[in-house]
């Protein structure tokens, strides 16, 4: 009987030390995960900085790497699209309900986007349109087709307007 009590005590005590060991392990896991998160944060910040540097060089016309230029052109296009959507969003917010008037039939047409005039470099002539394919133009630099209202070619990054 004494043996049974002794082994029960041992069982309980080993269960307790195991519990505290597991708790400590949890703390070590959380601590290490925190370290990783902090490093990943720093990494994201540097990556962001890298992008900002490339974008600045691209906008100044001093970015020579074609792959980076292509990515920057894509970002410029997205910025341009976002600006259009934001203008449309403001118009939607301004809309008020007017029951007497007939509902508008025509789709909303955003005003043409006028990019801020840059003083760096001469403007390239407008890209030729593709016959029978409205909304697409040929990039004068690489010959790929791009959207007619694009500021930059998504294939090569050349400025189109
Ligand atoms: Zn191109």
Q: How many angstroms is it from 139 CA to the middle of ligand 1?
A: 5
Are the C-beta atoms of residues 136 and 149 closer than 8 Å to each other? no
- List the single range of 21-25, 69-73, 117-121, 134-138 with lowest mean pLDDT: 117-121
Residue 104, pLDDT score: 61
Per-residue pLDDT reduced to its tens digit, 42-67: 999 999 999 999 999 999 999 999 99
* CB 124 within 8 Å of CB 134: no
pTM reported for the whole predicted model = 0.49
Q: Per-residue pLDDT averaged across 91-95, rounded?
A: 93
Q: How far is the CA of 82 from the centre of ligand 1 (A)?
A: 22
Average pLDDT for 73-78: 94
pLDDT in tens, 100-156: 766 666 666 666 666 665 544 455 556 666 566 668 888 888 888 888 888 888 888
Secondary structure of residue 20 in the 3-state scheme = helix
3-state secondary structure of 24: helix
State how far the Cα of 16 lies from the Cα of 11, in Å rounded to an integer: 9
Domains of the chain: which residue ranges?
1-63, 65-95+126-161
Contact 115, 31 (CB under 8 A): no
Residues whose CB is under 5 A from ligand 1 (ion)?
A: 139, 141-142, 153, 155-156, 158
pLDDT, position 13: 82
Give 73 Cα–ligand 1 centroid separation in angstroms. 10
């Amino acid at each position: 009987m004494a043996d049974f009590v002794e082994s029960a005590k041992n069982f309980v005590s080993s269960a307790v030390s195991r519990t505290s060991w597991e708790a400590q392990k949890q703390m070590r896991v959380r601590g290490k995960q925190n370290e990783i998160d902090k490093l990943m944060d720093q990494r994201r910040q540097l990556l962001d900085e890298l992008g900002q540097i490339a974008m600045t060089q691209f906008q100044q016309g001093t970015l020579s790497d074609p792959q980076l230029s292509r990515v920057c052109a894509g970002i410029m296009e997205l910025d341009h699209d976002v600006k259009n959507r934001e203008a449309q969003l403001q118009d939607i917010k301004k809309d008020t309900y007017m029951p007497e008037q007939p509902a508008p039939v025509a789709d909303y047409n955003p005003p043409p986007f006028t990019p801020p005039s840059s003083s760096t470099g001469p403007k390239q002539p407008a890209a030729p349109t593709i016959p029978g394919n409205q909304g697409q133009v040929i990039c004068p630099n690489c010959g790929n087709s791009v959207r007619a209202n694009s500021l930059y070619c998504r294939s090569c990054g050349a400025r189109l307007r």
